[in-house]
Structure 1
Amino acid sequence: MFRSITDASVRLVERYLPDPYIFVLLLTLVVFAAGMVFEQQSPVAMVEHWGNGFWGLLQFGMQMVLVLVTGFVLASSPLFKRILQALARLAKSPGQAIILVTVVSMAAAWINWGFGLVIGALFARQLAQVVRGVDYRLLIASAYTGFLVWHGGLASSIGLLIATEGHFAQDQIGIIPTSETIFSSFNLLLVLCMFIIIPVVNRLMMPPESKTYSVDPEKLAEEEKTPEIKNERPADKLENSIILAQAIGVMGLVFLAYYFIVNSGSLNLNIVNFAFLIFGIILHGRPSQFLATMQEAIKGAGGIVIQFPFYAGIMAMMIESGLAQSMSNAFVAISNPTTFPLFAFLSAGIVNIFVPSGGGQWAVQAPIMLDAGAQLGVDAARTAMAVAWGDAWTNMLQPFWALPALAIAGLKAKDIMGYCLIVLVISGVVMGLGLTFFP
C-alpha cells in the first residue's frame, strides 16, 4: 500500500510539477493577484512592491551560490572524497544506502544547513557509484529530506536570533537562550523523531527493481575525475604552486582562529562559506585543481542566480501588501492555548512557500505570533520554534532549497519532489503532534 501511494505521488509530481523557474513565475502571478483580491492593492502598487523588492536578496543569493560552489569544492577534495567513499562502502544494499544517506545528510544539516545540502547530495553521488541497483532519484530525494531538521539544529536562524542581544523582538520577549529553543526537551525530541522516522519512510518508498532509476557509476566517476597537471608554460608553475595555495590557506586559518577564539564569533553563513573556501584551497593543494573543481561547481548555480530575484520580489509583495500578516492572523483567530503552536506551525509552513527564508519569514510573523502567544499564555520559545519548524517543513514542497542538491545531482525538481511530498505529509503529522504535546 505504501509503495502504491509513493508511486501515485511520483507520477503526480512528474506529470504536473513544472521546472522550478516556471514554478516561481506562476507563484509571482498568484501572489500578485492575491494582493489585489484579498488586500485591495492596486495593480500598480503590487508591481511597485515587486520591482522594489526584486533585488532584495542579492547578498543572500550570492551567499547561496557560494554555499553550493565552496561546499562542492570542499567535498570534492581528495580527503573528503576518501571520507565519503569510505562511508559509502558501509552500505551493502540499496535499502541501507537510502537509510545511510538520510542519516548523514540530517546530521550535516543539523550542524549547518548549507553544509547539509551539499554534503548530502555529494554523498548520494558516491553511494550511486558504490551500491548497485539503488534508485538515484530516491537517493537524492533522501539526501534532501535531511534538510528537514536544519531549523531545529545549531544553525537555526530563529533560535540563534532571539538568543542574540539587540534582536528586533527583544522589547517584547527579551533574550531567550538556546537552552529553551534549540536544546529544549521538546525540540530535541522532535529532532530525534525525525532521525528515526524519516530514514524509515525513505526506505519504505524504494521502488521495485523493474521501476528503479539507475545511473551509470562510471559516468559519475568520470565527472569527478581530477584534471591532469600541466607544466608546459612558466605560468603553469604558478598555477600548480602548492606553496602559493597553502600561503593563502594559512592566512585563512589564522583569521578563523582569531574569529572563534579571540572574538568568540558564532557560526553564520559568511563564516561557513569562508571556512569552506579556505579548507577547499588547502585540501586541493594546487590552484589549478581548485579552479577546475570550482568551474565544474559553478555550472550548477544558474538556477539560483536567476530564481532568487523572483523570490525576493514575491517576498516583497507578500510583506508590503499585508498578505503574510493576513495569513498569520487567520490562523491566530482560530487558536486556543493548546492548539496555538500547531496553528503557528501550519501558518509558517504556508508562508514559507511564498517567503522561503527563515530570517525573512520570522521578521514578518514574529510580531503577530509572539503577541498572540503571549495573550494565550503560550511560551515564547515554543512559539518561535513552532514557526521555525513550519519554515523547515514545507521545504519538502517548495523546490527553492532543492536547487543546490539538484545542481550537484544533475536532476530536475520533478525527479525528487514526488518522494518529498510523502515525507511532507508524514513529517507534518509528527511535527504538529510534537509541538502540541511534547513537554
Structure 2
Amino acid sequence: MVQGIARFCTQVIHRFLPDPLIFAILLTIITFGMALGLTPNSPADLALMWGGGFWNLLAFAMQMALILVTGHALASSAPIKRGLTALASLARTPGQGIMLVAFLSACACAINWGFGLVLGAMFAREVARRVAGCDYRLLVASAYMGFLTWHGGFSGSVPLVAATKGNPMEATVGLIPVSATIFTGYNAFITIGLIVLLPVLARLMMPKPGEVVAIDPRLLEEAPVVERKLGPDATFAERLEESRLLSIVVAAFTVAYLAVRTSRTGFNLDINTVNLVFLAVGMLLHKTPMAYARAVGGAAKGAAGILIQFPFYAGIQALMDHSGLAGIITKWFVDIATPQTFDLLTFLSSALINFAVPSGGGHWVVQGPFVMPAAQTLGTDLGRAAMAIAYGEAWTNMAQPFWALPALAIAGLGVRDIMGYCVTAMLFSGVVFVVGLMVF
C-alpha cells in the first residue's frame, strides 16, 4: 500500500509540480490575490508590502547559503569522506541503506536542524556510492524526511523563542519554559515516534527493482584535488596561502570563542554556531586556507536556488504578516475551536500558513498573537498550543520545497525527484502528530 501511494504521489508531482522558483512566483501571485480579496488593503498597499519585505531574509539566505557551502566543503575533506564511508558500510542491502539514512537524518535534525539537513544529504550520497541497487531519489528523500523531527528537538525555533525574554508574546502570555514544550511526554512520543516510523516508512516506499533510479554517475566522480603542492621556488605569498598554521589559528580562535561564550551564556547550537564550526573544521581538515577556499568554490554553485528564491519568500511573508492575511486564516480556525479541538485546529492552520511562511520563527510572529490569547481564554495548555504551531510548520515542510533546497543542491537532484516520497511521509507522519497532540 505504502509503495503504491508513493508511486502515485511521485507520478502526480512529476507531472504538475513546477521548479521551486516557479512555485515561489505562483505562491506570490496567490498570496497577493488572497490579501487583496480578504483584507482592506489596496493593490498599491500590497505592492509596497511585498517590495518592502522582499529583502528581509538576506541574513537568513546568507546563513543557508553558508550552511550549504561549508557543509559541502566539509564533506569533501578526506577524513569526513572516510567517516561517511565507514558509516555507510554498515548497510549491506538497499533497504538497510535507506533505513539508515532516514534514521541518521531524523536523529541529527532532532539535535540541530541545520546540521541534520546537511549531514543527511551528504550521507545519502555516500550510501548511494557504497550500496548497489539503492534508489537515489528515495535516499535523498529519506534524508529530507528526517527534517520532520526538528521542532521537537533541541533547535526547535518556536519552543526556544517562546522561552526567550523579549519574544513578541512575552507581554501577553509570559515566557513558556522548555519544560512545558520540548521536555514533555507528548513531545517525546512525537519525536521518538517519528524517529522510529520514518526508517520503516522509507523502507516500505522502496520502488520495485525495475523502477529503481540509480545515482547519476557524474555525482560519483571524485571532486578535483584542492590541495596544492609547492615547489622549491614558491614565493613567500604562496607559502603563506598554503600554510597549515593559519588553519590551526582559525580553529583555535573558534574553540576559544565557543568556550568563552558557553561559560558566560550557556550552550546554544544555533545556525551561526553550526556554520562557524563547519567552516573551522573544514579549513582544518583541508589543511590550508586556500585549499579550503577552492573546496568552497566548488560547492558554491549549488547555492543558486537559495539566492534567487529566498527573496520571494521574504516578500510572501511580508504580505501575509503586514496585510493581516495570516491572522485572518488563523482566526478562521481559532474561532471554531473548542478546548478539545483547539490544538488540532492550531496545528492545521499552521500547516496551511506554512506554504506561504515556511519559517518556525515567522509562525510565532504571525500566529502567536491569535493562537496564544485564544489558548488562555479556552484554558488550554500554552506549551501545547505553541508546539501545535511548531508541529504544523514541520509537517507541511514535506510538501513545501523551501527547506529542501540545501539538501537538493548537495545531492544534485531536483525537487520533483523527491517530493512524491516526502508527501507520502507527510500523510503517514500526520497520524503521529495528531495522536501526540490529542491523546498524550
- Coarse TM-score class (shorter-chain normalised): over 0.9
Question: What corresponds to 2:221 in structure 1?
Answer: 222
SS at the partner of 2:164?
Answer: coil
Report the Cα offset of residue 85 of structure 1: 0.9
Question: What corresponds to 2:367 in structure 1?
Answer: 365
Q: Any conservation in 2 of the 1:253–1:278 contact (CA below 8 Å)?
A: no
Q: Any conservation in 1 of the 2:173–2:373 contact (CA below 8 Å)?
A: no
User: Any stretches of 5+ residues in structure 2 without a counterpart?
Assistant: none
Q: What one-letter code is carried by the residue in structure 1 that aligns with 2:65?
A: V
SS at the partner of 2:221?
Answer: helix
Question: What corresponds to 1:241 in structure 2?
Answer: 243
Question: What corresponds to 1:141 in structure 2?
Answer: 141
User: Any stretches of 5+ residues in structure 1 without a counterpart?
Assistant: none
Q: Any conservation in 2 of the 1:396–1:423 contact (CA below 8 Å)?
A: yes
Q: Any conservation in 2 of the 1:113–1:147 contact (CA below 8 Å)?
A: yes
What RMSD over aligned residues (CA atoms) do the two structures have, in Å? 1.4
Q: Any conservation in 2 of the 1:121–1:405 contact (CA below 8 Å)?
A: yes
Question: What corresponds to 1:334 in structure 2?
Answer: 336
Q: What one-letter code is carried by the residue in structure 2 that aligns with 1:382?
A: R
Q: How does 1:90-109 map to 2 (within 5 A)?
A: 90-109=90-109
C-alpha distance after superposition, 1:203-246 (max 9, x if no partner): 111001111000256x4342435335232542432232111211
Q: What one-letter code is carried by the residue in structure 1 that aligns with 2:228?
A: I
Q: What one-letter code is carried by the residue in structure 2 that aligns with 1:187?
A: N
Question: What corresponds to 1:12 in structure 2?
Answer: 12
Q: Any conservation in 2 of the 1:230–1:236 contact (CA below 8 Å)?
A: no
C-alpha distance after superposition, 1:151-208 (max 9, x if no partner): 1100011111122223221222222221211111110110011011111111111001
Q: Distance in 1 between matches of 2:307 and 2:185?
A: 39
Counterpart check, 1:413 vs 2:415: yes
Q: Which moved more, 1:208-217 or 1:43-52?
A: 208-217
Question: What corresponds to 1:164 in structure 2?
Answer: 164
C-alpha distance after superposition, 1:323-377 (max 9, x if no partner): 1001100011121111111111111111111001111111110111001111111
Q: Which moved more, 1:87-96 or 1:67-76?
A: 67-76
Q: How does 1:261-276 map to 2 (within 5 A)?
A: 261-276=263-278
Q: Distance in 2 between matches of 1:236 and 1:13?
A: 51
Q: Any conservation in 1 of the 2:54–2:311 contact (CA below 8 Å)?
A: yes
C-alpha distance after superposition, 1:260-294 (max 9, x if no partner): 12342522222221122112222221223211211
Q: What one-letter code is carried by the residue in structure 1 that aligns with 2:330?
A: S
Q: Distance in 2 between matches of 1:166 and 1:43?
A: 34
Q: Distance in 2 between matches of 1:382 and 1:63?
A: 30
Question: What corresponds to 2:80 in structure 1?
Answer: 80
TM-score where L is the length of structure 2:
0.96
C-alpha distance after superposition, 1:276-313 (max 9, x if no partner): 21122222212232112111211100000011111000
Question: What corresponds to 2:355 in structure 1?
Answer: 353
Q: Distance in 2 between matches of 1:226 and 1:342?
A: 53
Q: Any conservation in 1 of the 2:113–2:155 contact (CA below 8 Å)?
A: yes
Question: What corresponds to 2:117 in structure 1?
Answer: 117
> Percent identity, aligned pairs only?
48
Number of residue pairs the alignment of both structures matches = 437
SS at the partner of 2:163?
Answer: coil
Q: Distance in 1 between matches of 2:61 and 2:2?
A: 38
Q: Distance in 2 between matches of 1:223 and 1:366?
A: 48
In structure 2, the CA distance between the partners of 1:263 and 1:377, relative to structure 1 (3 Å rule), is: closer
Question: What corresponds to 1:388 in structure 2?
Answer: 390
Large movers: runs of 4+ above 6 Å: none
Q: Any conservation in 2 of the 1:129–1:220 contact (CA below 8 Å)?
A: no
Q: Distance in 2 between matches of 1:414 and 1:206?
A: 17
Question: What corresponds to 2:209 in structure 1?
Answer: 209
Q: Distance in 2 between matches of 1:201 and 1:263?
A: 40
Q: Which moved more, 1:342-351 or 1:37-46?
A: 37-46
TM-score where L is the length of structure 1:
0.97
C-alpha distance after superposition, 1:16-59 (max 9, x if no partner): 11000000000000011111111142211111110011111111
